[in-house]
């Protein structure tokens, strides 16, 4: 893991972790040169010397960098940092298509077509460049906040003109979306991507994949043998023309599928036209298992089987495996290939000692820990945060995410809800409506207002509030109704009030205090000055006024001006001196019969004292090394803590001996820093 704040390649400052995968971790980073947020994919430290992983990483960078399209995630930069390869990509803020389908199903048919059109447009370009994705699935399709599609993860993409493609690579991919020929380990073509696109379209229309099973082998065999479940039986609103797009894209024989992505897109775009209302169900011309398959060979040619199956009689769809073996020996022999390919997939892509992270979201902390241990995983760090959506004490998310394939025994961290943030309701009675609204909405409350005639309150002032001040509630889910005074229709205006000149208050926000005071003096207003911190308003400038700008005021009224003191200081600097200890164990080490101990002692005496520093503050975790170096003399370390959210901690270890272990608060900052 890379620490937050680390400057990668002297340009990309790590902000947060976006995801962890089997090959690489993805981080959110700030590009300090172009002033924009980017996603950075970095090969895992334990895999940086794995030649297969490096080749896959380079293949993804090459494939994606060649494709410039608004619906494909852009690659901005590729480089290495201290020998660690990384790739800088466009940051897409939003869910992946899998999450979008799960949260929005059923999706209106025109919306489904709009989403698919973007995906198909992107893949049309990829195929024009002879790049086959090979792992198209909703998890690799991102959506930004405006609903724009971005295809990502070309990690196992392959170019059609590559001279050699290994069988192992050929079966990589996600089995729920994998074409029959792909599961057999055969040559992957553009039609293989089209099959995956058909499965994605099916899922977008129904909310689920067509085939499920207890094992990848079971799912792959269903893709190879079973008919796609009827869409129209699940949803009568789906026209036959639209179902036909799915049926043609997912035909078992690649020759029955669309010749190109462009052809599929054209068919999809007209599928809701009334002129196609009476369309017949699509029937593939080559059938399924009716004759011996023709599979592309690795050298680009084809191998034609010499014998057709002996018995063409129609058999029931549900028949035992052994009956098939006795009746169709060639089919049985052919079935060995998909099984063998899937076993390769399970071994290489998933790992023979891997497990899936169970979904423990919304479980209690204890139940989640039990579930993780039952799955052969260890419980990692347990962090807590406020949430308005997840009840207190229940799990919000895990790292790695649910359903990720990880090594058995891997630590899984939990993020547990503290419940909602409770906000104290302020007293806004007696304030002008605009000021009261601003005060409440700043705290997260929703505000409504209604008028009430009054001869006791100046028109525009808040008479009462629906939730009394002092109560603590969840502001994000609370609406406060304010009752605002209006003049009685038959109530004559006070002569003393009418004799004063009234006017609308100017907007003083951003003005200097001197300008505000001059304005008040010219309007014969009494000025009251208050100060507050602000991250957005420069020191000495006006943050706000009470009454707010635009409010009707009169001569003699009091104007409260809140002036910025600048941003609140949040950093604490402290200096720690670590004494150098000359090697004192060399003699004992030399007497040891353990060669490794002798080598370690020799290395230590040569390099000096090994110092590791761990800190915990707003940006760092005590579980990660903050600084790691050797010293050969007494050395000062100046550490800057960010402790605006509470106390920080520091631990300094010298040659496995803890020499500093203390808590740091905002009051600990050294004078002069």
Note the pLDDT tens digit of each residue in 650-660. Answer: 999 999 899 99
Whole-number pLDDT of residue 399: 92
Mean pLDDT throughout 29-45? Answer: 88
Confidence of residue 356 (pLDDT cuts 50, 70, 90): confident
Task: Name the fold adopted by 369-417.
Answer: Trypsin Inhibitor V; Chain A (3.30.10)
Q: What are phi and psi of 545, to 5 degrees?
A: -130, 155
Q: Can you read off the two tokens belonging to residue 5?
A: 């704040």
Tell how far CA 51 is from the center of its chain.
28
Residue 491 has pLDDT above 80, yes or no: no
| Predicted pLDDT of residue 430 | 83
Selection from 24, 54, 55 nearest residue 39 by Cα: 24
Torsion angle of alpha carbons 530, 531, 535, 539, nearest 10°?
A: 110
pLDDT in tens, 423-457: 999 998 888 898 899 999 999 999 999 988 876 67
User: Which residues share a beta bridge with 483?
Assistant: 450, 464
Q: Where does 571-668 sit in CATH, by number?
A: 2.60.40.2560
Average pLDDT, the chain: 80
Position with higher pLDDT, 579 vs 570:
579
Report in angstroms the alpha-carbon separations of 5 from 24, 192, 269, 316, 399: 19, 42, 47, 63, 20
Q: What is the 3-state secondary structure (H, E, C) of 413-459?
A: EEEEECCCCEEECCCCCCCEHHHHHHHHHHCCCEEEEEEEECCCCCC
Domains 1-91 and 92-309+317-350 share a fold: no
- Predicted confidence (pLDDT) per residue in 596-621, tens digit: 444 444 444 568 899 999 998 877 88
Binding site: what residues are annotated? 41
Tell me the CATH architecture of domain 92-309+317-350: Orthogonal Bundle (1.10)
Q: Is pLDDT of 199 > 90?
A: yes
DSSP symbols for 617-660:
SSS--TTS-SEEEEESS-EEEEEEEE-TTS-EEEEEEETTEEEE
Q: Dihedral, CA atoms, 231, 234, 236, 239, nearest 10 degrees? A: -10
Which pLDDT score, from 0 to 100, does residue 337 have? 56
pLDDT grade, residue 502 (50/70/90)? confident
Enter the pTM of the model.
0.46
Q: What per-residue confidence (pLDDT) applies to 315?
A: 42
DSSP line for 189-226:
-HHHHHHHHHHHHHHHHHSS-S---SSHHHHHHHHHHS
CATH class of the domain at 425-564: alpha beta
CA pair distance 556, 526, nearest whole angstrom: 6
Detail the residues annotated as belonging to a binding site for ATP: 41
pLDDT tens digits, 554-564: 888 889 999 98
pLDDT exceeds 70 at position 384: yes
For residue 93, give the nearest of 141, 142, 137 by alpha carbon.
142
Judge whether residue 280 has pLDDT over 70.
Answer: yes
Instruction: Return the domain boundaries, the chain.
Output: 1-91, 92-309+317-350, 369-417, 425-564, 571-668
Calpha distance 216→341 (Å, rounded): 11
Residue range 1-91, CATH number: 3.30.200.20
**pLDDT over threshold 80, residue 625:** yes
Sign of the dihedral through C-alpha 343, 348, 353, 354: negative
Catalytic residues: 135
Q: How far apart are CA 487 and CA 1, in angstroms?
A: 64
The arithmetic mean of pLDDT across residues 201-224, rounded, is 90
CA 33, 34, 40, 42 dihedral sign is negative
Average pLDDT of span 265-272: 94
Helical spans, DSSP H, in 15-130: 51-65, 97-104, 109-128
The pLDDT value given to residue 542? 93
Do the beta carbons of residue 447 and residue 503 sit within 8 Å?
no
Show Cβ contacts of residue 427 under 8 Å, excluding neighbours closer than 6 positions: 465, 469, 470
């Amino acid at each position: 893991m890379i620490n937050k704040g680390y400057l990668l390649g002297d340009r990309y400052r790590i902000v947060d972790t976006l995801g962890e995968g089997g090959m690489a971790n993805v981080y959110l980073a700030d590009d300090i040169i172009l002033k924009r947020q980017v996603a950075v994919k970095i090969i895992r430290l334990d895999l940086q010397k794995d030649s297969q992983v490096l080749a896959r990483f380079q293949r993804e960078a090459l494939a994606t960098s060649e494709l410039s399209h608004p619906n494909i995630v852009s690659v901005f930069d590729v480089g290495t940092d201290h020998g660690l390869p990384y790739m800088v990509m466009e940051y897409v803020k939003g869910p992946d298509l899998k999450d979008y389908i799960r949260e929005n199903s059923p999706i209106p048919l025109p919306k489904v077509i709009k989403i698919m059109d973007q995906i198909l447009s992107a893949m049309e370009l990829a195929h024009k460049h002879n790049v086959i994705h090979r792992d198209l699935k909703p998890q690799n399709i991102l959506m930004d906040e405006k609903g724009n599609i971005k295809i990502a993860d070309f990690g196992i993409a392959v170019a059609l003109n590559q001279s050699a493609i290994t069988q192992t690579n050929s079966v990589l991919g996600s089995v729920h979306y994998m074409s029959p020929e792909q599961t057999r380990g055969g040559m992957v073509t553009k039609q293989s991507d089209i099959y995956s696109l058909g499965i994605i379209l099916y899922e977008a229309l129904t909310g689920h994949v067509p085939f499920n099973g207890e094992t990848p082998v079971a799912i792959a065999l269903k893709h190879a043998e079973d008919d796609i479940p009827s869409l129209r039986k699940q949803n009568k609103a789906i026209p036959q023309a639209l179902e036909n797009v799915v049926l043609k894209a997912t035909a078992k024989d690649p020759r029955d599928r669309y010749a190109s992505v462009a052809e599929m897109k054209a068919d999809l775009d007209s599928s809701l036209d009334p002129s196609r209302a009476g369309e017949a169900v699509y029937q593939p011309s080559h059938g399924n298992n009716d004759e011996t398959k023709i599979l592309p060979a690795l050298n680009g040619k084809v191998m034609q089987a010499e014998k057709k199956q002996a018995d063409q009689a129609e058999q029931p769809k549900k028949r035992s495996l052994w009956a098939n073996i006795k009746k169709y020996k060639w089919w049985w022999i052919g079935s060995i290939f998909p099984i063998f390919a899937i076993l390769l997939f399970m071994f290489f892509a998933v790992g023979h000692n891997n497990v899936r992270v169970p979904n423990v979201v919304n479980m209690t902390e204890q139940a989640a820990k039990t579930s993780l241990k039952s799955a052969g995983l260890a419980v990692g760090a347990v962090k807590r945060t406020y949430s308005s959506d997840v009840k207190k004490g229940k799990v919000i998310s895990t790292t790695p995410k649910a359903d990720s394939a990880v090594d058995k025994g891997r630590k899984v961290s939990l993020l547990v809800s503290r419940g909602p943030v409770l906000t104290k309701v302020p007293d806004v009675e007696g304030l002008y409506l605009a000021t009261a609204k601003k005060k409440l909405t700043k705290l997260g409350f929703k505000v409504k207002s209604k008028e009430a005639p009054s001869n006791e309150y100046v028109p525009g002032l808040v008479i009462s509030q629906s939730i009394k001040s002092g109560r603590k509630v969840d502001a994000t889910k609370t609406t406060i109704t304010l009752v605002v005074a209006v003049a009685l229709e038959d109530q004559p205006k006070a002569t003393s009030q009418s004799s004063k000149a009234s006017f609308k208050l100017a907007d003083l926000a951003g003005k200097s205090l001197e300008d505000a005071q001059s304005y008040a003096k010219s309007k014969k207003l009494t000025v009251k000055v208050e100060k507050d911190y602000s991250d957005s308003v420069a020191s000495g400038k006006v943050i706000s006024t009470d009454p707010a700008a635009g409010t009707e005021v009169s001569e003699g009224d009091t104007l409260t001006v809140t002036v910025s003191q600048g941003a609140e200081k949040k950093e604490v600097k402290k200096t720690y001196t670590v004494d150098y200890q000359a090697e004192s164990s060399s003699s004992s080490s030399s007497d040891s019969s353990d060669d490794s101990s002798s080598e370690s002692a020799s290395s230590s005496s040569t390099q000096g004292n090994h110092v590791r520093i761990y800190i915990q503050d707003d940006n760092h975790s005590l579980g990660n090394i903050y600084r790691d170096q050797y010293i050969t003399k007494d050395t000062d370390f100046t550490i800057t803590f960010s402790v605006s959210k509470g106390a920080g901690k520091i631990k300094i270890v010298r040659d496995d001996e803890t020499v500093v272990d203390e808590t740091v608060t905002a009051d600990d900052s050294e004078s002069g820093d």
